[in-house]
Each structure stands twice: as structure tokens, then as C-alpha cells.
Structure 1
Amino acid sequence: MANVVDVLQESATLRHPTSADLLVTMLSQELGAPVEPLQNRTLRPYLLQLVEVCARIPDGLPCLVRCLGYVEEQSVTVLALRRLVDEWEAVDFFDGADLHPLRPDLMELRSSAALAAMARRASRSRTQELPAWCDTGWAVFLRLAGGNSAARELPVSMAFLSLAADQLVEDGLREAAERLRRWNRAQARVWGFEDQMAEWQHDSITDQPASLMPAYLMIQFEPDGVDPDRYYLSHWRQSDAESWHPLPGETLHLHRDDLPAEVDTLIEQTEERWSDLRQPVVLEFILPWELLGEPVEWWHKEADSASPTPLVMDYTVLIRSFERLRKAAWHRPWHNKWRQFKERPAETHSYWNRPGHSHFHLERELKEDEQAVCLVLSEPPGTDSATSRQEYLAGLRAGVPAMIWHRGDCSDPAFKEAVAEIVQDRGLAGLLERTGRWRKEALAMGPEGWDNHVGRHLAILLDDPERKPEPPGPAHVPVKP
């Protein structure tokens, strides 16, 4: 506890009355309990009392550090506190067992890619990524202690120790590896986990097949609300094959012209994080109305190189509706139609809207026809056309999870021919696979010819209500300009 107070004393936030009051207000809200303000009290005694109060409340200390992070982002103080809180919780999890003999040997492991791979494997993919302060085996072990373990399953931190010992052997540090294994065996005996340890060691040497479940990178553009040329870019990463809990990244405030370059950077950083994944990756762009005309599938990776790569070459690229995610009143019909799409795909069908068709009657017909789950638009959305906006809005209100359009001309005979082939197979897998085939045909023509192929202009919105991004935290915190 004294170490936590020592670090807090170095915080610029707590040494300034205004920012200290802001921290206390946020902490009170997150804890759901009042926290006494600093006012004119001496700092260290106040901090001792604050840490003691937080330590008595479940999740209290992590909450204190999280709130300080809202103010200071990833400051030196915040990172140091996160390391200390992880150690505090690890000691509590192991019920006072002496962990420090493990520290010197675990400090030898510093490869971020190897540590992330071991953490993912030890947690059976429940831990997807490691936070920035987990830069050594010791920090990762503390972070994993007590987390993400099913009943009577070998604790994740002990599974990690087993993998760390294997890695030390590969690095030629056999004595260090044996010290970790000896500690692990002793702890397994104390807790009666000898069978689980043996089972883990047997399973860990068996090469696991690659998951068929894709990893998702969700990228959202939210309008500034004041400046029409600026957007908040948020993103979430999801690579857990067993459950849906996307991890939020930082939020950026950008000019519209800077969005493609920032997406390029974000994808490169994500690929570095996921360098050991064997799953396919899906890109999902959550777009507001005014950006639906952007050909995001054909934005580039490595745009600063002599030969940039269109995103559609490497990924399945889907569009989602920003407005629908934000409008909870539209979610019930959305869920209902998605269940039809998912559970009884052979009974579902597409609906081709006719030019000049009343948007009122379009919405009515889509709502009455429960099996109509894919709307083929008569005009491209994202333009100044009032008719196009009303058509799109009717689809959202009716809960239609899939929409297809041509980004330039929905009356193009080649587009109608392509869509007729795409929607003939009523299942979800067929919809994606057939759209992908048309895009690949366009790719095969190369940059000099793909603009003349309908696959270059196909856009598909596919909104899964069961896969929603988590909010990035308090409104736009942190935001980088």
C-alpha cells in the first residue's frame, strides 16, 4: 500500500487542487460511493486514507488507477500504478505465497510477440492482447494471476508459467526453466491441481487447429457534430474465438481527408499485434450516412509504398450503420430479422426496391415480410438525394440487416446481373462468398482495368446485432487530435 501511495504522490493530477477534485468526482461515480475530497488536507495522509478505502472495495484499486488514466492517459505514474495493482492482486490470488523468486527468471522474457502468444495460449484465447505495461514475463504473470479461469481449470497464470519455462529452455536457460517448473509443481500440490497441471502439459504440446472464427477489426467514423469535415475515429479489436468482448483502442479526432491514412496505420499496427494469429481477419467500417459513398474496401494498405495494396485483396470488408448502432429504438426489428437470417436462412430472401417506390410503402412491406432480410437499393446512399436517404432509412427502421448497392449507378444492368447472382443463394455464407467473388474478379483486372468491372463498385452493408462494439469509455476520452 505504501508503494502505491509513493507513486500517487508523484502524480501532477493530485498535486493540483482542480484536477484532484475532478479525479475524486470520477472515482466517486465509478465506485458508486462518496469519496472525500482533498481540500486543504496534507497530501500523503490523504492518499494513505484514499488507498485504504479503495483497497476495501472490490475492484477499488483498479478503479482508482482507471480514473487517473482518464485524466493522465498513459502517464509514467499510471503505468507504474497498473504494475503495482497487478502485483497486489496476484499476491492476493496466490494467498500470500512468495512470488518474488519467480521475478528474476521471468524478467528474462521480453519479446512482446512471444509474450502475447503465450498469454493467448495460456488463457485459451480469452486474453487476446496485453496492455502496454506487460513488457516482461514477470509483468504478464502478475497480470494473468486470478483471471479468466473456469472452475477447476488450471489457473491461467500457472499455465503461463509452464509455457514460460518451455520458452526459457528454447533460450538455453534450463536452470531458470526448472526453477519455474518447481514452483509451479509445488503450487499445484498445495491447491490440488496436479491432474490439471498434467492435463495442461499434455494438451500444450498438441498443436491446436486454427480457429475458423474470424478476428474482427471494427473501425468507426463518428461525425464531429460541429465541423462537417472532421470525425472521431474509434476502433475495436476482437480475436477471441470463444466469446465476443472487443477491445477498444484510442479515439482520434481527424479531418475527413486524413481518414484513409490513419486507417492504413491502424491496420498495420493491428497486423503487428496479430502476427501469430491463424484466423482470417474481417474489417468492419461503421459509417455514418455522409460516408456511405466512400469506397472503403479499396482504400490502401502501405499507401506510402510504390505498390500499395487495396484492402479488399487481403480482407473481407463490410459496412455497418453508425445511425442504427446509436438508435436503440430500431434494435428490436433488427434482432428479429437477424434471427430469421441466422436460424432459417433457407426461408429468407432479398427485396429489390423499385425506383420511385414510396418510402412509406417500402418500410411497410419490409416490416410485414419477416423473411425479407436483404434490401437491394435503387439509389446509392450517402448523397444529397432525399429519396436515397428515405430508402435507406426505411431499411434501417424495418430492421433489414443486409443492404447492397452500386456506389455509382444502381440501375446499371451489370450491377443487377451481379446482385441477382449474389442473392440467389439465400444463406449468409453465400451472400459474403459471392460478393467476394465479384470483387476478386475486379481485382484480377488490375488498377488499369478494375474501374470498368462491377465488382469494383459493389458495396455491402451487413449488420450483426450480436456483435456490437463496446463504448470506448467516457465520451471521447482519450482523444488525440
Structure 2
Amino acid sequence: MEERSAARVRNELMADMAGVLAESETLRRQAGANMIVQDLSAELRLTLDPRSDEPLTLWARRLVRTCAEADEGLQTLARCLGYAEQQSSSVLALWRLVDEWDAMAFFKGGDLHPLRPALRRIRSTALLTALARRASHSRVQELEEWCDTGWEVFLHLAGNNTAADELPSSLAFLSLAAQHLVKEGRTEEAEELRRWNRKQAQLCGLTEVMADWQQDDFAPPGEPSLHPAYLLIQFEPDGVEPDRFYVSHWRQSDSDGWHPIPGETEKLHRDELAAKVDFLVERAEERWTDLRQPVVIELVLPWSLLAEPVEWWHRETDTPVPIPLAMDYSVVIRSFERLRKAAWHRAWNNRWRRLKDRPAESRPHWSRPEQSAFHLERELKEDDQVVCLVLSEPPGTDSPTAQAEFVAALRAGVPALLWDRRGPGTDFREAAADILQDRGLSRLLDHTRRWRNEALALGPEGWDGHVGRHLALLLDDPERLPGPPAPAGGPEGDGADAG
């Protein structure tokens, strides 16, 4: 195949981008084109020509060229089209071309098309995600929606930042992709990738760095990971309007470390929270179609929401038979107050570390309703092996006793709390004793889910009478903290270096 010059590659890419814009439903309409121009002008701080009576393709070509000459101009163009069309086929096609433009610039105008046939045959989302994580030192956790083959992943990684002492992520990805092709018996294609990779490393002065690149510890996806994936959803009180909350969320599916990916933040009324959780779960499932590990949903709740039976909020509420979250997921609560109160974190971290080092010595503690909160906290702080406190009253109510008991547990650093939302009864004491039969934290979630499954087996007509329907488990891991949320009302935080 004839190698194309840098000028030809650039011209062909701009022509392809213009063609995508000309096919866009938004730009075909005068009002839509005006809106895109306004958004672009505001973000790029440029004066752009409005759409005229000339052929749409010619106007789009001038628009693309103007954006290409501006810093981050083409990325801004794709983003502005996304404002209007979300993840339409035009938006995805434009992002693919923008990534190729950035990759071409990274490789000094070199023709990348010889790599395309082999890389396009790698289509497993699970494999591509694993390769991208390994190549990027876990900076990329999820793939963008337009990165559906190895070709698109390679181009996207070429536009990402790399530390000065690291092999660029795109070259590392090619190295791993070649290794995969060898295992698939496609040795000629693998050697083509390796030759190209070696040439680029030599041109960039990275021959020694390439030689040091270690692949031995990379294992493609096979057996399901023992590490769960997490969907964290946080509800932060507005502070002014008591029935409104800022809802933030993070996804985490990396088995090699804790790298939560933030999503958007929205301000919602209390009545809208359950529907928002349903929406976020569906979005996560769309992202995790090839995920093999189990999924845990963690809901970071303030005091005012602790009485909500969040484990039994419905998913797929637009179907004839919605189902509770507890049917498909392990659901746990986390404390918003503890996450925000840094003065409580030293005790929390210290107790957690001791429990990890000596799990066999850990034990539960049962709060007694007649005991004062002062003496409860004193007892907890005297026994640093307490892993879980069984509450005598359900939190999230107007009860001063319940609030004092809850705060005592948080100040003492106890990572797990267990309660019955109805208030303790004989059936709860039996269930709690069963849940706490094992030392440490490892089986708390499994045992709690087993009791919930027993309630589910009775169906909606009978589960309210079963203790499993009313069990609440707060399980706080200080080593798994949510990252900063995306700005309120901002775009979904799934892009940039998050992959």
C-alpha cells in the first residue's frame, strides 16, 4: 500500500469530518447549524461564519479547517455536536476522526493506516479494556463508546498524556495487541505491528524504554475477577432546601486498583432519587456489557435518607414488572457524614488497618437500648477489634437515642453497622447473629444478601413479613473513597483520560 503524505492524510481527515457534519441531522437544519456555531464561538472565542446558501459540505469543510487551526478546536467541535445529538452515529464517527487527527499529530504526520486491518479485528470489549488499562498504567479505566475495535483504542490512546519516563500508551497498546495476535495464531499481523512499533520507538528515541516494557505480568481476561465492580451513588443534602439533594456517582471496575470514574452531578428532589438510581444502574450496565465480575451498588446516604429502603428501590421501572435492586446486586449503605468529617477518619483508618491485619480477632458489638451513648462510645474505643455494631434503634429517624448511637459508632471508627428498619425484634436478632457468625468483614455482605434473597423468594405479596426485607447494612471501606464529583449540571465525566 502506498504511504500517504502528511498533507494528504490531513486533507482526507478534514474531508471525512466535513462529510460527517454534512450528514448530521443537526447541521442540516439552519437553526441547528446556528446553534453549533454559537456554541463553538463561545468555547473557542472565535468569530465563525454562519451557515450560508452554499452547499453544506463546503461550509462544513471551512468550519472543520477553522477548528483544526484552533487549540483543541476539533475536540470542541465534536463536543458541541454531542451537546445537540448526545451519542448519535454522527457524533461517534466524528470522535473517531478527531482521535485519528490527534494520533497523526502525535506520530508527526505518519500514515497510520497500515495498522488498521489487524487492529480492527480485535473487537472484544473486555480484552480491549484490559489492554488499554495495562498500556496506560490504569489511567484509562473504561473505553469511550466509539472505541469498539483495537484501531479506535490505539488512536484514542495516542492522544492521551504519558509520563516522561513511560512508554507512550499507544505504543504499549500495540505491543500488547501484537502479543494477543500471536496467541491467536496471527503471527504475520503481529509482526507487522511489532515492526511498526520498533520503527516508531527508534524515531522517538525510545528504543531502550521499549526494550524494558514488561508484558509478562499481563493476563488477558479469562476467569471472572474476584474483585467486584462498584457503582457508588452519593446523595448530598442541598443545605437550603431539605428535600433536594446533589446526586453524584462513580463507576469502578478495575481489578488492579481503585480508580473510580466520576459521572455528572445533578440536583434532584427527594421524590426523583429512586428513578435516578434506576437510570444510573442502567447506564452502568450499558458500559459493563462484557464485565464478568460481580457488581456491588454502594449508596452514600446522609442521615435524612437512612430510613429509606434503598435496597428495594426498583430498577427497570418502565417495564410491567419492575424488580428490586436487591434481586440483582449486593447493595450496601455508606455514611455521607463520615466521608465529610475528616476528624473521624484517623480512628476509622486505624481500626480498618487492625482488622485487615488480624481479622480472626475481630468481633461484633451489640448496642443495648438502655445504655447511654457515652458509655457505648467508651466501650467501642476500648475494644479496637469491634468490626460491626448492631444498632438498638434504626437511624434516620427523629429519635435522639438513634442519632447519638450512630454518631458514637462513627466517631469510634467502626466500619460496619447493621440494623432493622422496623426496629429490633426476635427475628432480627436471629438474622444478625447468623450474619455475624464469621470473624472479620469478609462475609457480612454475603450473609446479608442471603437473608434478602429469602425475602425475595416470598414475592411482593409476602416479603414485607420477612426480616430480610428490612435489613440495612452500612459497610464503609476507607481505602475505597469516591473521587471528586463532576461539576453540577456538567457533561458526563466519562471522557478525557478516563477513557
Q: Are the equivalent residues in 2 in contact too, given 1:106–1:136 (CA < 8 A)?
A: no
Shift of residue 159 of structure 1? 4.9
Normalised by the length of structure 1, the TM-score is 0.74
> Contact 2:174–2:194 (CA<8 Å) still a contact in 1?
no
Aligned ranges for residues 78-477 of structure 1 at < 5 Å?
86-87=99-100, 90-91=103-104, 94=107, 97-102=110-115, 105=117, 114=123, 116-123=125-132, 126=138, 127-132=140-145, 134=147, 138-145=151-158, 155-159=171-175, 162=178, 181=190, 183-190=192-199, 191=201, 208-410=222-424, 412-474=425-487, 477=490
What residue ranges of structure 2 are gaps of 5+ in the alignment? 1-9, 22-33, 46-65, 202-206, 494-499
How much does 1:313 deviate? 1.8
**How many angstroms apart in 1 are the aligned matches of 2:120 and 2:438?**
54
In the alignment, is the contact (CA less than 8 A) between 1:118 and 1:164 conserved in 2? no
Kindly state the Cα deviation for residue 82 of structure 1 after the two structures are TM-superposed: 6.8
- Tell me the alpha carbon deviations over residues 285-309 of structure 1, each in whole angstroms, 9 at most, x when there is no partner: 1111111111111122222323322
Deviations 1:69-92 (A, max 9, x none): 7x9985689999976774465346
Amino acid at match of 1:15: S
For residues 315-369 of structure 1, what are the alpha-carbon distances to aligned partners after superposition, in whole Å with 9 as ceiling and x for unaligned?
1111001111111121111101111222211111112111132222222222222
> Aligned equivalents of 2:365 and 2:399: distance in 1?
21
Change (3 A) 1:334 1:373: same
Cα 1:357–1:457, aligned 2, differ >3 Å: closer, same or farther?
Answer: same
Contact conserved, 2:176 with 2:215, CA < 8 A, in 1? no
What's the counterpart of residue 7 of structure 2? none
Q: Please give the alpha-carbon distance, in whole angstroms, between the structure 2 residues aligned to 1:400 and 1:202.
A: 37
Q: Which stretches in structure 1 are left out of the alignment for 5+ residues?
A: 22-45, 52-60
Corresponding letter in the other structure for 1:212: L
SS in 2 for 1:439: helix
Tell me the residue number matched to 1:12. Answer: 38
Aligned in 2, Cα 1:85/1:396: closer, same or farther, shift over 3 Å?
Answer: farther
> Is contact 1:123–1:148 with CA below 8 Å preserved after alignment?
no
- C-alpha distance 302-15 of structure 1, shift in aligned 2 (>3 A): closer
Q: Distance in 2 between matches of 1:395 and 1:267?
A: 30
Higher RCO, 1 vs 2 (CA within 8 Å, ≥6 residues apart): 2
Identity fraction in percent: 53
Listed one character per residue, the Cα deviations across residues 65-119 of structure 1 (whole Å, up to 9, x for unaligned) are: 69x97x998568999997677446534654664324446x48977x9xx463342
User: Residues 428-461 of structure 1: CA distance to partner in whole angstroms, max 9, x if unpaired?
Assistant: 1222222222222222222222211111111000
Counterpart in 2 of 1:36? none
Q: C-alpha separation between the residues in 2 aligned to 1:449 and 1:462?
A: 27
Relative distance call for 1:432 and 1:201 in structure 2 (3 A) is: closer
Render the CA deviation track for 1:231-281: whole Å, top value 9, x for unaligned: 222111111100110111122222212222221222122112111111011
Deviation at 1:148, TM superposition (A): 8.0
1:136 CA drift (Å): 6.4
Other structure's SS at 2:246 match: strand
Displacement of 1:189 in angstroms is: 3.6
Name the SS of the counterpart of 1:464 in structure 2: coil
Matched residue SS, 1:122: helix
Aligned residue pairs total 430
Range 123-132 or range 195-204, more displaced: 195-204
SS of the residue aligned with 1:378? coil
